[in-house]
Amino acid sequence: MRVLLFSAKWLGDAVNTTGAVAAVQDAWPNAEIVVSVGEPGAGVFEGWPGIETWVRPRAFGIAARLRLANAVRRRRFDLAVHLEASRTIVRLARVAGVPRRVGVVKPGDERLLERAIAPRPDRHEIRGPLPEVLAALGIPGPAIPTLRLTQDERSQGEREFAALGSNRVVGLHLGASNERKQWPLTEAAGLIDALSDRGVRTVLFGGPADAHRLPKTRVPSAVLAGRLTVREMAAVMAHLSAFVSGDSGPMHVAGTMGVPLVALFGPTNPRRYAPPGDRHVLLRRCDCPLADADSNDACDGHCTRAHRWSEVLSALDSLIEV
């Protein structure tokens, strides 16, 4: 059987589909499984054992859609599973002639799939509908996000962590794709200095752009931002004492790896975008009329900037001994 799984575009969203991908792989160990994923989230699956990854470019225009549709048609998939609601992708799978199509859809597209599941505003945007998608396929399981790392990836993570020279390490991600979700560097510096006073090492994670977003501290943090792939980053995170981040892709990676986590929310609603796992404290200071919206596009980011480092340190104290 040939199965095509359509994952999400963004890193955090792609991470939140991993539980469903793993469940499908376990249910059908002899199937040919391909994951189609957006370029920002591709690092989640590139290197995943037993899975082939097809990367959708950031600019997913008509030409790119035609190339993907032709590739799908040539491969003769038996089943397409939509793990994120996308009008474009749902129509592409239908045009490409995949005979059986199941998954998450936007309102109005239900007729395009054999079994369509609509997202609900009271559930997580990505993880919420995935148990129903699996049930429609006859696969049990809650679709808990997981990253299946290779032994080489885990070994490299151990080496990178050992190079930090401490067993008490707190990781931070200070960037975000949206500036309104970025925590001020001055507040991050206060937290890093306070942790340093307690003998706790800090390390900064993220992509190449985050490597230049450095707080001015008395003792500099280690910087792994821009040096690691997504899966290598996950392997290092597995050894952290805790992690601090805004609503970002690395936040979801850390949650998936089971790291105690303090997540700083601003314009996005944690009910819809909370990280995986249950070892976290979600902080939000939002006093605007749109606080209950999924994502407040009118927010200027003041709610993210309102988080104080002392508040974050207290949250860390509630999770671990630092």
pLDDT for position 291: 55
Same-domain check for residues 165 and 198: yes
d(CA 319, CA 90): 41
Residues 297 and 170 in one domain: yes
For 35-48, how does the pLDDT look when each residue is reduced to its tens digit (9 = 90+)? 999 999 999 999 99
Is there a domain that residue 158 lies in? yes
Which of 106, 136, 166 corresponds to the end of one domain? 136
State which of 73, 107, 136 marks the end of a domain.
136
Give, in order, the Cα–Cα distances in Å from 38 to each of 35, 183, 218, 225: 10, 26, 39, 21
Question: Same structural domain for residues 184 and 64?
Answer: no
Q: Range with the lowest mean pLDDT among 22-26, 135-139, 305-309?
A: 305-309
170-226 pLDDT tens trace: 999 998 877 888 899 999 999 999 999 999 999 999 999 899 899 999 999 999 999
pLDDT tens-place string over residues 92-143:
999 999 999 999 999 999 999 999 999 888 888 899 999 999 999 999 878 8
**In this predicted structure, what is the pLDDT of residue 54?**
98
pLDDT of residue 297: 63
Instruction: Say yes or no: 172 and 302 in one domain.
Output: yes
**Listed residues 136, 170, 204: the one ending a domain:** 136
What total of structural domains would you count in the chain? 2
> What is the C-alpha to C-alpha distance for residues 88 and 8, in angstroms, rounded to an integer?
12
Same domain, 117 and 245: no
- Considering the domain architecture, whether residues 287 and 187 belong to the same structural domain is answered as yes
What distance, in Å, lies between the first and last C-alpha atoms of the chain? 50
Q: Are residues 56 and 165 in the same domain?
A: no
User: Same structural domain for residues 195 and 299?
Assistant: yes
d(Cα 16, Cα 125) in Å, to the nearest integer? 9
49 and 192 part of one domain: no
Six-digit token string for 214? 């450095």
Range of the domain at 22: 2-136
pLDDT band at 305 (very low <50, low <70, confident <90, very high): confident
pLDDT at 100: 98
- Do 249 and 304 lie in one domain? The reply is yes
The candidate with the shortest Cα–Cα distance to 278, out of 154, 158, 153, 127, is 127
pTM value? 0.94
Helix %, strand %, coil % of the chain (to 5): 40, 20, 45
* Residue 23 and residue 125 share a domain: yes
Give the model's confidence band at 268: pLDDT under 50 very low, under 70 low, under 90 confident, else very high.
Answer: confident
CA–CA distance, 21 with 81 (Å, rounded to integer): 10
Task: Please indicate, yes or no, whether residues 9 and 99 belong to a single structural domain of this protein.
Answer: yes
The CATH number for 77's domain is 3.40.50.2000
Range of weakest confidence among 142-151, 294-303, 304-313:
294-303
Q: What percent of the chain has pLDDT over 90?
A: 80
Residue 146 lies in a domain: no
